[in-house]
Amino acid sequence: MDSLEQIFITIGAVAGSAGLWKFFETRMKLKAERKQADMENDDSLQYREDLKERVEKMSLQLEEANKKILELTQKVATLETENKYLQREIDILKRK
């Protein structure tokens, strides 16, 4: 009987440990799923996504503004050159 008891205890321990493992595994999966759902519904995550979109939009606007500034700088340089030649023409006409 002693060996029969040991067999039953071993079978019970194996079955119990497998059952416990299954229980903890299921519990961990549920916790992970709940945490994922909480993160998806979290306001800070939505706020972060909104900030990312706004930063991208502002970066594009900054690039466009830099291009416009460069174009305006070139136009100012052209106008300064034209103004210089016109001033010379005026000086020449005043002397005559």
**At residue 15, does pLDDT exceed 90?**
no
| Contact indicator for 33, 27 with CB cutoff of 8 Å | no
**The pLDDT value given to residue 1:** 57
* H or E segment to which residue 59 belongs: helix 43-95
**The pLDDT value given to residue 47:** 83
**The pLDDT value given to residue 36:** 83
From residue 30, alpha-carbon distances to 13, 21, 38, 41, 75 in Å are 25, 14, 12, 17, 65
Least confident of 38-42, 57-61, 84-88: 38-42
**The pLDDT value given to residue 83:** 94
Task: Write the CB contacts of 39 (distance below 8 Å, at least 6 apart in sequence).
Answer: 45
The mean pLDDT value for 24-30 works out to 87
Residue among 51, 54, 34 at smallest CA distance from 43: 51
The mean pLDDT value for 85-95 works out to 90
pLDDT digits (tens, 9 = 90+) for 59-77: 999 999 999 999 999 999 9
